[in-house]
């Protein structure tokens, strides 16, 4: 084997090793990664979320800044939230309810947008690479006590797009998991008639 062939083999081996180990290297700035993911998420015009909590699965479509379509199990049906108005299906007819605090309450779906606040005040742990629905992500963990209770949170950020793909919040009642998808896929959400 010539020196040139041996050098090519060593280079190929080194490149393969670097590519294999690169995802395992700890992030230099986990708080910065979480902050950037939150900023990117806050800029989205549209997204879809699947939220699972205590065995109940809800589907949510969002058209920023304040339009949501929330589909819950059959007994609850589909509700629409537009600004401070909530439209609830009652017996086949929609009732409209004015709820001044509704926009703030729905903010839990935009939790990753609050990541920059968490990043500034919480110890962010690099949990390493993972995957969500076949998408390569990087996981970050932090404990949150901002609502008077302690939760253990994990934010999974897409390695390719830098967006949050899953938020897991675990408290005394068990985990709530929100999977995010359909980033900037337009959806129209209007008040039902």
- Please give the full DSSP string across 106-160, using - where no structure is assigned: GGGGGGGGGHHHHHHHS--EEEEEEEETTEEEEEEEEEE-TTSS-EEEEEEEETT
What the chain holds in terms of domains, given with CATH numbers, is: 27-181 (2.50.20.20)
pLDDT band at 116 (very low <50, low <70, confident <90, very high): low
pLDDT band at 7 (very low <50, low <70, confident <90, very high): very low
Which range has the worst mean pLDDT, 26-30, 52-56, 130-134? 26-30
Residue 26, pLDDT score: 47
Record the pTM: 0.78
């Amino acid at each position: 084997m010539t020196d040139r062939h041996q050098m090519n083999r060593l280079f190929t081996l080194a490149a393969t090793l670097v590519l294999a180990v690169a995802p395992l290297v700890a992030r230099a700035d986990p708080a910065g990664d979480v902050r950037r993911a939150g900023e990117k998420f806050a800029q989205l015009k549209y997204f879809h979320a699947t939220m699972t909590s205590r065995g109940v699965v809800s589907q949510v479509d969002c058209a920023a800044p304040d339009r949501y379509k929330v589909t819950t199990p059959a007994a609850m049906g589909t509700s629409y939230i537009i600004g401070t108005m909530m439209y609830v299906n009652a017996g086949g007819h929609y009732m409209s309810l004015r709820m001044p605090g509704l926009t703030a309450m729905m903010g839990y779906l935009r939790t990753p947008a609050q990541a920059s606040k968490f990043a500034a005040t919480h110890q962010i742990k690099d949990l390493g690479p993972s995957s969500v629905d076949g998408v390569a992500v990087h996981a970050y963990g932090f404990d949150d006590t901002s609502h008077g209770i302690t939760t253990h949170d994990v934010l999974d950020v897409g390695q390719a797009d830098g967006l949050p793909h899953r938020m897991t919040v675990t408290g005394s009642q068990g985990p709530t998991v929100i999977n995010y998808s359909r980033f900037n896929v337009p959806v129209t959400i209007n008040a039902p008639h």
